[in-house]
Structure 1
């Protein structure tokens, strides 16, 4: 009898130690282990003690679920904070999309993942990132009206497929790539900015019933952040490109000129001809006909340069009525031919203002890298000096730079 009491007492200590371990690491408690222990212990307890023990295990499970939920929410909030922090620092679309995938993967299974974008009225849906089993198969495009993506765009409602057993089995309906197994749980969430649909974000798992309602809500919030970040990145890109464009003529400006020239000269065995030209009559046109006529003159010069520029050439309005034409790889003879063509284009297309014919003439200077200078500033000074000589010779002519 005494030995039986000792055994029960030792077993009770083991139970207390196990419960203590559970409470010390409650989120790691396996529900299957709790159920197995309940069956094991209940067979050794009286009916009254069994009820008390069941209540104890129930409280342990509830505590475990609450702690797990709080940890999930905490990680959820950290994900959103991290996303906001990352998106505030980058305007690269590819980085935004990849970081979204990485952070989503921290709080939910994302064996497959894609983000699709759609502009209202387009015939195609663009999928810049489509990850399947760790491999990015994007960018892709699909016709609008095809696949589950189109359905989400049309309805603007989340679709949560918990198991494929009762769903269409065509792979193209859900994901793209070539994994060894198909996904079994899929969430498709519309990307919304205000009332405007921007696309779809989808997380998918090889497992069945892998996601809860909380995962849908997480994807909705992340989807909104991604859509906002992409919209901001595209706006930034448009503004950035506009900063390199001349507003009046639509050609590149002086910022673009310096950026492009430095890039060209950094290339191995670089060879560049620079054509610099300046209007001979802008001030007179402004004085006699007004600035609107002067603007028309500037636009006409820009049109002449665009017409003459080859596929590798770039025209710039550098300042006022001063223009540049960068011609990579062009010989001096080719550069002179381009300058002559610009002047001829303008000669044949005078402006008409108040029944008056306004002739357009330009003075031109040409210099080459590396023959005439070994730096960007040196090349510009050489072309400027050649242009100055054209002005001194009476204007409306072309001068090739010659040292000394």
Structure 2
């Protein structure tokens, strides 16, 4: 009897040690370990002790699940923080999409992955990124109205396919990539920004039943961050492009001029002609007819420059009534012909007022890189000097720097 008690006591100590080890590594405990211990003790404990032990085992199992859930949430919140941090630093749409794939791959299996965009009224869905086994098969387009992607756009609901046995039709509309192996689990989540539907994000696995409900929710959060980042990037691009445009004339502005000139001068064949043009009578028009007429004069000169510019030329409103025209590879004779065309346009289209018409006269200076200068600032100074000489010669004339 005493020996039997000692054996039971020793076995009890072993169980306590095992339970203590479980609590120290609760996140690693396998449910099968708990079930094995329950089976082991099934015939050894009294009915009362067995009930108590089952309750302890149940609590250990629930604690294991809660700790793992908390660890899962903690790890994924860290990844979502990383995602927002990365998105805050870039306005490159392609980089945003690729980073989204990389971070989705950290939180769930993403053997295949894509993000699709659709604007209301379009006939096609744009898929800028479509990855299968690490290879990007995008960009591509698919007709709107076909397959699961269109269904998500129409319903604004997540579609979770746990096995392809659930969705035998139209598999080609689910993924694009290697035909050697197909995905079996797919999540399609709407990209929502406020109440607006922006697109669809999809994570897919070759395995069946690879995702849980938590993965759907996580992909929704990631999708919202992607939609926000893409919207910000596109807004930034619009603002950035606007910063290079002159609002009154629609021409490029002085910032674009300096940017373009530096790029032209860095090419293998950097020869470029700069035509600098200045109105002769803007102040008189403003004083006599008002600034509204002055604005019309500026727009008329801009129109003349646009009509007379060649296909490779770029025209700029540099400041006030000062304009620039960059003509890559042009010679001086060609530049003079362009100025002649500008003058003819202006002569045939004076500003019409109630008391008559106002002729539009301009003074012009021309310089060429690298003949007349070896830097961007030097080229601008050369053209400016030629323009100054035109003004001193009585205005409404053209001066070429080399012959000035």
Residues 271, 11 of structure 1: alpha-carbon distance in 2 compared, 3 angstrom cutoff: farther
Q: Distance between the aligned counterparts of 2:65 and 2:354, measured in 1? A: 84
Q: Name 1:66's counterpart in structure 2.
A: 66
Structure 1, unmatched stretches of 5+, are: none
RMSD: 2.3
Residues 172, 393 of structure 1: alpha-carbon distance in 2 compared, 3 angstrom cutoff: same
Q: Name 2:302's counterpart in structure 1.
A: 302
Q: Name 2:335's counterpart in structure 1.
A: 335
Residues 14, 307 of structure 1: alpha-carbon distance in 2 compared, 3 angstrom cutoff: farther
- Cα deviation, residue 151, structure 1: 0.8
- Cα deviation, residue 50, structure 1: 4.4
Q: Name 2:247's counterpart in structure 1.
A: 247
Q: Name 1:206's counterpart in structure 2.
A: 206
2:139 maps to 1:139:
yes
Match of 1:402, SS state, is helix
Q: Name 1:225's counterpart in structure 2.
A: 225
Q: Distance between the aligned counterparts of 2:232 and 2:90, measured in 1? A: 10
Aligned ranges 1:151-170 → 2 under 5 Å: 151-170=151-170
Match of 1:131, SS state, is strand
Aligned ranges 1:181-192 → 2 under 5 Å: 181-192=181-192
- Cα deviation, residue 239, structure 1: 0.8
2:92 maps to 1:92:
yes
Q: Distance between the aligned counterparts of 2:172 and 2:371, measured in 1? A: 59
Structure 1 contact 132–179 (Cα < 8 Å) conserved? no
Deviates more, 1:153-162 or 1:54-63: 54-63
Q: Name 1:344's counterpart in structure 2.
A: 344
Structure 2, unmatched stretches of 5+, are: none
Q: Name 1:79's counterpart in structure 2.
A: 79
Q: Distance between the aligned counterparts of 1:205 and 1:260, measured in 2? A: 47
Structure 2 contact 112–131 (Cα < 8 Å) conserved? yes
Structure 1 contact 282–321 (Cα < 8 Å) conserved? yes
Structure 1 contact 112–175 (Cα < 8 Å) conserved? yes
Residues 391, 20 of structure 1: alpha-carbon distance in 2 compared, 3 angstrom cutoff: same
Q: Distance between the aligned counterparts of 2:8 and 2:371, measured in 1? A: 100
Residues 339, 18 of structure 1: alpha-carbon distance in 2 compared, 3 angstrom cutoff: farther
Q: Distance between the aligned counterparts of 2:382 and 2:356, measured in 1? A: 37
Q: Distance between the aligned counterparts of 1:53 and 1:285, measured in 2? A: 99
- Cα deviation, residue 391, structure 1: 1.5
Deviates more, 1:27-36 or 1:291-300: 27-36
* TM-score w.r.t. length of structure 1: 0.92
Q: Name 1:174's counterpart in structure 2.
A: 174
- Cα deviation, residue 13, structure 1: 5.9
Q: Name 2:268's counterpart in structure 1.
A: 268
2:259 maps to 1:259:
yes
Q: Distance between the aligned counterparts of 1:304 and 1:8, measured in 2? A: 104
Match of 2:188, SS state, is strand
Q: Distance between the aligned counterparts of 1:192 and 1:36, measured in 2? A: 46
Match of 1:201, SS state, is strand
Q: Name 1:323's counterpart in structure 2.
A: 323
Q: Distance between the aligned counterparts of 1:196 and 1:343, measured in 2? A: 51
2:301 maps to 1:287:
no
Q: Distance between the aligned counterparts of 2:114 and 2:132, measured in 1? A: 9
Structure 2 contact 364–386 (Cα < 8 Å) conserved? yes
Q: Distance between the aligned counterparts of 2:154 and 2:121, measured in 1? A: 12
Q: Cα deviations across residues 155-187 of structure 1 (Å, max 9, x unaligned)?
A: 111111111112134332211111632111111
Structure 2 contact 147–170 (Cα < 8 Å) conserved? no
Aligned length: 404
Q: Distance between the aligned counterparts of 1:304 and 1:90, measured in 2? A: 39
Match of 2:181, SS state, is coil
Deviates more, 1:252-261 or 1:224-233: 224-233
Structure 2 contact 111–206 (Cα < 8 Å) conserved? yes
Q: Distance between the aligned counterparts of 2:24 and 2:176, measured in 1? A: 43
* TM-score w.r.t. length of structure 2: 0.92
